[in-house]
Amino acid sequence: MIDITLLGTGATMPLPDRALTAVHLAFGGRSILFDCGEGTQSAARKAHVSLMKTDLIALTHYHGDHLFGLPGLLQTFGCLGRTSPLFLTGPDGLEEAMAPVLQLCGQLPFDLHFLHLNEQGAQLSDIFPHFPEESFLFPIPTCHRVISQGYRFSLQRPGKFDFTAAEKLRVPKPFWSLLQHGKTVTLEDGRTILPSQVLGPERKGLSIVFSGDTSPCAALSEAAEEADLFICEATYGEDSYADQAEKYGHCTFSQAARLAADAHAKRLWLAHFSQIMEHPEDFLPNAQTIFPDAVCGSDGLHITLRFEEA
């Protein structure tokens, strides 16, 4: 199960009901924040989302509308006495981009770690011991005016545990949970047991893709393949803004919808709206003619995704 909340859906400058970009993910008692635009803290309060236990903040790029909420949030963590470490990840240049942010914050009572993801992504339990074994995060190279990356987060799901097979192989019960979570185990008698020996076929997991700022690009469409939720930037509502979108490295509503349709995504949330659109939902038909279930994102929009199979 994953809880996803859109905290900010604006581009460039905050509006009274539209904070700048931020998306919160909660799963298995852990949480990730994608981007941290101005207004993220207030938006989280309004949406009843606690950011205090955020384990990882994953930045898509270093434009102010995606990170100016960060110094304030780090200071709040400090004021509230956070001591658990916080990880930050982002595209190349993370340390340089964070240097002035950290200078503003001064001394913080918790450790900050910079995490560099390679294109193979990461099994998060390798970095965070308390994360579910099945949680993975992959960066997606995107096409913006500066170096940028989106993210695919997935919660994979191993096959059902085959008790009969485990008993036949004389695997002691204390090892069952490890095998169920995909770990190979070595028994006291020296035998090695692979998860595949005691698990049924892999079941369908859950995946979420967040674009960050980008023009339409093949890597994003590929990464969003069959995503349960695709949160895509859609800066401009009208197709007539396509040239402007290309010039500034953004998408129109119809381009975001085309990406989602090509990827056979299950759900599409549009976000990162230009302030020139007072009511982004007026332009939703431009997306829905291509992806009928497209949803216009709004601050506080929330969904709980659950595994389809029992």
- The footprint of Zn ion (CB under 5 A) covers 11, 63, 65, 213
Neighbours of 20 (CB within 10 A): 29
CB 78 within 8 A of CB 110: yes
HSE of 34 in the Cβ direction (CA atoms, 13 Å)?
31
Query: Do β-strands 295-296 and 268-271 pair in parallel, antiparallel, or remain unpaired?
Result: parallel
Quote the least distance from Cβ 21 to Zn ion, whole Å: 6
Quote the least distance from Cβ 135 to Zn ion, whole Å: 26
Quote the least distance from Cβ 272 to Zn ion, whole Å: 6
Residue from 57, 56, 76 nearest 67 by CA: 57
Quote the least distance from Cβ 305 to Zn ion, whole Å: 25
Residue closer to Zn ion by CB (options 154, 274) is: 274
Catalytic residue among 35, 55, 65, 299: 65
65 is catalytic: yes
Q: Which residue do the tokens 């852990």 mark?
A: 30
Q: How far is CA 130 from the centre of its chain?
A: 18
- Residue 252 CA to residue 231 CA, distance in Å, equals 14
Strand partners, 295: 269
Active site residues: 65
